[in-house]
Structure formats: C-alpha cells, structure tokens
Structure 1
Amino acid sequence: MRVAAITVAVLLLVTLPAWVGNPYYINIASQILFFAVFALALNVLVGYGGLTSLGHAGLFAMAGYTAALLLARGHGHFVADTAALAVTVITAAIYAVLSLRSTGIGFLMITLAIGQILWGIAYRWASLTNGDNGVNVSSRPAPFGLSLAGADGFYYLCLVVFLVCVATMTVVVRSPFGASLRGTRDQERRMSALGYNVWLIRFYAFLLSGFWSGVAGLLFLYYNQFISPQIVALTTSAEALLMVISGGTATLLGPIVGAALVVIMKNVVSAYIVRWNMVLGIIFILIVSFMPDGLVPGSVRLWKWARHRMRRGKVEPVAKVGGGGA
C-alpha cells in the first residue's frame, strides 16, 4: 500500500503540468515544492533533534543573497550557486556554535537573535544588499542546456530537487545517525552516558539543515528573480515553523503537507478571502487543539480509530448470534 501510494504520488507530480495547464497554478506547485524542502530542512532540528529554531530565515536568505550578489557582479550561475551553498553551510556552522550552548527556550532565543541580526544587515547595509530595493536576478540557470524560463521547466527543477531532498531525508532518518539524533532529543543524558557526543551530533544535524535551507533559498531566488530583506524577517522563520508543526514534526510527509497548506492559503485562498490570515490562524488553532501531533499523525490516528470501530461493528453482531444459540 505504501509503495503504491508513493508511486501514484510521484506520477501525479510528474504529470502535473499536463493536467493542470494553467501556468499560475504550476507556479503555485513550484512554491509548495521548494517551501517543502525548507520545511523538511527545519524538521531535521525541530522534529528529530528536538531543537526549535526561529532563525532559519537567515539561512534561507543567505543562499539567495550570496547568489544574487555574485550574479550581479558578473559571475556565472554555477559559481554563484556553489558559493551560496558553501556560505550557507558556514553560516549554519556559526549558528550551531552559538546556539547549541543551550536547548529549549534558550536555543530558540539565540537562533531568533541571530536571525534578527542577519535581517538588520540585509536591511541596513544598503551599499551591499541595496536595502529595501533588494537585488534583481536577470536570468535563471540552464542546466544541460534546458531552459528554466517557463513555468513547466522551473517546476521540474523544483520537483527533482524536492525528490532528492525527500530521498536524502529518508536515508538520514533511517540511518544510525538519525537514530542517534532522535536519541539526543529523547534521552540527552543517557546518550552522553553511553559515550555519544551529543553536541557533535546536533552540530552535524544543523549543517544538514542549513544545506537544504540554502537549496530552498536558491530556488526561491530563481523563482522570484529577486530578493529583499523581507525574506529574512521573522515572519519567514515563523511560517516555516508553522509548516512543520501543522503537518507533523518528526515525519517526512508532515512538513510537505504543512508547506502545501500555508502556500495555498497565501496564494489561492487570499484571492477569495480578504482576511485569509485569520482563517489560517483558526486552522492552526484547530490543528493544535484536536491534532496536537499535526495533520499527518492525527489523520493516521483518526483512520486507525475509524477502521477499528468498523471492525468492531462487524464482529459484535456475530458474537451476539453465537451467544443466543448457546
């Protein structure tokens, strides 16, 4: 059943431009895919590491700004993108060194502070970042000569990156490293007593999260062909965290569902409902109230409950008939 569901989902994603047709909705699908990559990156820390970050917008934007500034200075896409990912991973290492001094609310506040520092740099250092005016990118890359200028081409790029990200996360989660990361989340002291270097495990997890946040930031840059300080703001970090929590932490499908929910609310529902922010807030309140584990784990639990009730409904009449005959 699981293999069949995955196969059907991949086929639907691959054929989406053909049965959707409208470039607007294809672009919405592209947004869902690269924000899903961002949410999956954050989920490495929040879900599997038990470390809630409110500064990941800084990593997301670091890749975009680095690539945009290098492209504006005449460098090619390959050089700009490679440098952007390298700078993002280095920034993630700095994040980790500063924030892993504590856990819980202390970790959250340090990541929030670093994110706000990066926002201040993007907003105030106008000679470098062009301030509120942002940085424009005139073209998208053309890997192997394939044009990404149209909605279809860029969607397939996002799809390939998304599938690679999901495959990578699946391998990591099922690996001994993934088990040790979950161990640091659940039993930090016991892991230390067993000889595991808890700090180093979390440091590696931060680097992995930073790398995929940078990849998502590059896709965001090429999607909009523009980047500004707005994307470094706290709102972006909060939205990514809401994607993870609403879909379900410590799951691979949860952040994807959460990303789809937030992107559709922002880009589709907002066209019909003026106060879409209020609707989104109500949805999150309902999720936290009735499905505190998130939509995906909550839906699975609801399905198991319904199936159990159906089975009991079939078994009980038979039991009564048997008892009457005796």
Structure 2
Amino acid sequence: MTEVTQRAQVPDDVDGGSAPPSEPGRRWLTAVPVTVVVLVLAAAPLFLAPFAATTLTRMLVFGLLAVSLDLLVGVTGLPSLGHAAYFGAGAYAAGWVSLHITPAIPVPLLVGAAVGGLAAAATGWVAVRSAGVYFLMLTLAIGEVLAQVAQSWDGVTGGANGLAGIPSASLAGEPLVNVGFLYWYVLVVGLLGFLLVWLLARSPFGAALRGIRDNEPRMRAIGYPTTLYKYGAFVAAGTVAGAAGSLLAAQQRLVTPADLGFTTAAIILLAVVIGGAGSLWGPVLGAAIVVLVRDALGPGLGGHGELLLGIVFVLVVYLLPRGAAGLTTLRPFSRRRS
C-alpha cells in the first residue's frame, strides 16, 4: 500500500484531533483572509509614502507575471526560462500604442495582452512538443531571440536605449500621474488577472493540465490530446504575461530589452520557486520578496541585493521545499501510525 493511501486511512483524531471543516467552513476560511488582504491592499496608498507605494505597485506587476508563469510551472509542469519574452512583448506593445495612438485605459492593456498571447501562440507550438530540459532550453532560446529583436529594432523598440517617454495611462481623459491612482489601476488589473488564472486552474481544463503534469503518458493513453492542452496553457500564460507587461509600461514608463531577457525570466522563475509552485498565491508572495530584496533593499546594501536574493533562495530550497506556500500545510502536532 502506498504512503498516500496510508495517509488517507489515518483517522481524524490521530492526525490532528478534529474532523476537517465542512465545505461551507472551508469557503469561509478562505474568503475571510482573502477579503482582508484585498482590503489592506486597497487601502495601502492612503498610508504609504510615494516610494513605498511605487514599490508595492511593482510587486503587483511582477506578482501577476509570476502567477502567469505558475500556470506553466506549477499547474502544467512546464518550467520555462523564456516567459519574460511575452511579458516584454506586451510591455513594448502597450508602450508603443500609448506613444503613437492613445494611452487611454484599457487600450494599452488589451493590446499588450493580445501581443503577449500572439507571441506565445507563434512560439509555443514548437516549444510544447518538447519536455524537460529540452523545453527549458528551447524557451530560453526563444526569449533570447526576442530580446535580440528588441535590441536591434531601433525604429520600433528604441534599440538598446529602450522605449522611453511613454505617457501616463489615462482614464476618462485624465492621466494617472498620482502614484495612488496608478496603484489602484494596477491592483484592479492584477486581481482580475489572478482571478482569471485561478478559475482556469480550477476548471476541468486545469484538472487536465495537472494530470499532464503528474503523468502525461497516462493522460495521452486515455485519449487526451496533451500537446493541445499544453499549447492552450502556454498561450493563456503568455496572454496574462502580456497584460502584466502593459502594467509595467504604465508603471515605469520605460521598456528596455532587459525586460524580456534572461535576467527577468530567471528572476520570475525564482519568485515562483520561493513562493511555492502550484499554489498561485505563493508566487505573488515570492515576487513581492524578490522586488523587495532587489529594488528596495538592494540599493542600500551597496548593490548586493542579488547576493541577498541568492541567499534567500538557498534558504528556501533547504528549509521550505514547497516554498512559502508550504507553510500553510505544515501540521507540527500531527501523528502517524507506525
């Protein structure tokens, strides 16, 4: 008998002393902290200084990017080192539209999401036909190719100098120059993007993706077109990443080739690992930790923020194999049958 079966047969009084909560109880246990977190995030600009509010805005941007990557890494089992390519493609598209057409919400957001999804659709059909380290290397190559395109296409992307002078996003004709207003815009889009990925992961489509992650040959044997499912997940993740890229363009009003290169891709994969792959909310926390260490604490450490980030990563790998999200599943007082 497997260990999983043995755990399932352990009585409730042995494994914690009480029966598990009912379905309505579980919903309340989830809804209450989620509501509190959303309310705290919504009220944050009222109490934070502009720099702190800007840092929190960047956390939300990269949090949405981490959630989109978690759809590949944690739900589908496809670790990618090129996911920043779709993030950067969406950022460039949103910035270009804001510069040359209109910065009015939601036009740059929709364009960024569409371009990220199209870029993923164009490259994903080849990528998802590989697996393991081959998939990892292929996505890395795709990301580097797009980064080189961004660096050499001066007329559209600004070349090595990047796309600068992006105007502020505007709502009803009013530019969101206030840090708090821009934060609320990013927060709303981030919550909607998170909800979309969460619903997708909990749908029958998401269940099939988890089956592919756990045992793709078996899923293929029972009739699932696994390549099409992985392709759909790849395109969906690229679309959400493109939307996150449009938020980056609105927040920092500058897009550079580094935003779609290897460094950004590696950092966001690191955020997923730190937060806990497969949990969705864990990578958001991981992204917040990465931004805090790299952008907020790093300058005060003489430029050694990346070193501190590496130390955090090593500690998480050794002490929290399931990432920060794994802390919620720890039951230190539980007992097992011998």
Question: For 2:285, which of 226, 237, 257 is the aligned residue?
Answer: 257
Distance change >3 Å, CA 146–CA 127, structure 1 → 2:
closer
Q: How many residues get paired?
A: 305
Q: Post-superposition shift, 1:138? A: 3.8
Give the letter for the 2:321 counterpart: P
CA contact (8 A) 1:249 1:255 kept: yes
Query: Equivalents in 2 of 1:70, 1:160: separation in Å?
Result: 21
1:19 to partner: Cα distance: 2.3
Counterpart in the other structure of 1:51? 78
Cα offset for 1:261? 0.3
Asked whether the 8 Å contact 1:134–1:227 carries over to 2, the reply is yes
Which residue number corresponds to residue 62 of structure 2?
A: 35
Q: Which amino acid aligns with 1:35?
A: F
| Cα distance, 1:83–1:147 mapped onto 2, change above 3 Å | closer
The residue that corresponds to 1:168 in the other structure is 196
> Which ranges of 4 or more aligned residues in structure 1 deviate by more than 6 Å?
none
Gapped regions of structure 1 (runs ≥ 5)? 310-326
- Are positions 1:188 and 2:190 aligned together? no
Q: Is the contact made by 1:135 and 1:227 (CA closer than 8 Å) also made in structure 2?
A: yes
Distance, in Å, in 2 between the alignment partners of 1:144 and 1:121 is 35
1:288 is aligned, of 317, 320, 333, to: 317
1:126-155 deviation digits (Å, cap 9, x = unpaired): 233221121124422223345421110010
In 2: Cα distance, 1:289 partner to 1:86 partner: 39
Does the 8 Å contact 1:71/1:137 carry over to 2? Answer: no
Cα deviations by residue, 1:60-114 (Å, 9 ceiling, x for unpaired): 1111112223333345545554333322211101221110121111111111001
Question: 2:254 matched to which residue of 1?
Answer: 226
Q: Equivalent pairs: percent with the same residue? A: 35
DSSP 3-state at the match of 1:227: coil
Q: Are 1:86 and 2:141 an aligned pair? A: no
Q: Which amino acid aligns with 1:231?
A: D
* Counterpart Cα distance in 2 of 1:125 and 1:54: 23
The change in CA–CA distance for 1:5 and 1:76 in structure 2 (over 3 A counts) is closer
Q: How far apart, CA to CA, are the structure 2 residues paired with 1:144 and 1:108? A: 43
Which letter maps to 2:73?
A: V
| Residues 1:199 and 2:227 aligned together | yes
* Structure 2 unmatched ranges of 5 or more: 1-28
Check whether the contact 1:147–1:153 (CA below 8 A) recurs between aligned residues.
no
* Alignment of 1:67 onto 2:94: yes
SS at match of 1:226: coil
Q: Tell me the TM-score normalized by structure 2.
A: 0.86
Candidates 239, 251, 256, aligned match of 2:267:
239
State the alpha-carbon separation in 2 of the partners of residues 8 and 92 from structure 1: 35
Which protein has the bigger helix share? Answer: 1
Show CA shifts across 1:246-270 (max 9, x none): 1000002211110110000012211
Change (3 A) 1:164 1:146: farther
**Corresponding residue for residue 324 of structure 1:** none
1:123 to partner: Cα distance:
1.3
Would the aligned equivalents of 2:113 and 2:241 in 1 still touch at CA under 8 Å?
A: no
Cα offsets for 1:39-61 (capped at 9, x unmatched): 00000000001001101111011
Give, in whole Å, the separation in 2 of the partners of 1:291 and 1:104: 23
Does the CA-based 8 Å contact 1:122-1:129 persist in structure 2? yes
Alpha-carbon shift at residue 273 of structure 1 (Å): 1.6
The CA RMSD measured in Å over matched residues stands at 1.7
Residues 95 and 163 in structure 2, CA contact (< 8 A), matched pair in contact too = yes
Moved more, 130-139 or 26-35: 130-139
Name which of structure 1's ranges 110-119 and 141-150 shifts more when overlaid on structure 2.
141-150
State how far apart, in whole Å, the 1-side matches of 2:152 and 2:97 are: 19
Partners of 1:31 and 1:245 in 2: how far apart? 19
Distance across 1 between alignment mates of 2:114 and 2:277:
27
